[in-house]
Amino acid sequence: MQTAYIKSPLGITEIIGDENGISSISVLDSEKEITKEIPGVLKEAVAELQEYFAGNRNDFTFKLNPKGTDFQQKVWQELLNIPFGKTISYLELSKKLGDVKAIRAVASANGKNPLWIVVPCHRVIGTDGSLTGYAGGLWRKKWLLEHENPTTQQSLF
């Protein structure tokens, strides 16, 4: 596994992966030295994340390889279907997965998403439109939603 640390508007971003794909992208609350020489297997992910933060990318094309249970993988796959600049509620997400009663399990799997931003768990909000639960902090969730849809999101929150 290779690791790189890059600067983002939301803090230091840690990217971990190998030739099988990127297995983890997370934002850190602590300082870390920025990686000067990006490992080859991480270059595409780093470039695409930098383009995203610059406002020049709406989707990601690099290979993903997250580790999780079958259920978590199913939830994360469904998160990939949420369009850029749009949001969905936890209830809607549960319905799309075929089990409204699984809302807590869906929320838990959403919270365990190892691929920050790329698997867009930040696009899942409360049924009432509120910003609920976000491992990176609600201020980051708000920033991401406004970054992806600056015209409508600012009026929502």
Residue 86, in any domain of the structure:
yes
Number of domains in the chain: 2
Q: What is the pLDDT of residues 37-70, one digit of tens each?
A: 999 999 999 999 999 999 999 999 999 999 999 9
CB 14 within 8 A of CB 26: yes
64 lies in a domain?
no
Is the domain of 143 the same as that of 74?
Answer: yes
Question: Distance between terminal CA atoms of the chain?
Answer: 39
Beta bridge partners of 22: 17, 64
Angle between helices 103-111 and 70-79 (to 10 degrees): 80
- The verdict on residue 18 lying in a domain is yes
CATH code of the domain containing 147: 1.10.10.10
137 within domain boundaries = yes
Is 74 in the same domain as 109? yes
For the annotated catalytic residues, the residue numbers are 121
Domain ranges, residue 35: 2-53
- The answer to whether position 128 is within a domain reads yes
Give φ, ψ of 12 to 5 degrees.
-70, 130
pLDDT of residue 152: 57
d(CA 136, CA 131): 12
Whether 32 maps to a domain, the answer reads yes
Average of per-residue pLDDT across 25-32: 90
Within this chain, do residues 75 and 148 fall inside the same structural domain, yes or no?
yes
Pair 86, 152 in one domain: yes
Q: What is the pLDDT of residues 127-152, one digit of tens each?
A: 888 888 787 889 999 999 999 987 75
Same domain, 46 and 15: yes
The answer to the question of residue 116 being in a domain is yes
Nearest-angstrom CA–CA distance, 145 and 150: 8
Q: Are residues 23 and 75 in the same domain?
A: no
pLDDT value at residue 116: 93
Clarify whether residues 80 and 48 are in a common domain: no
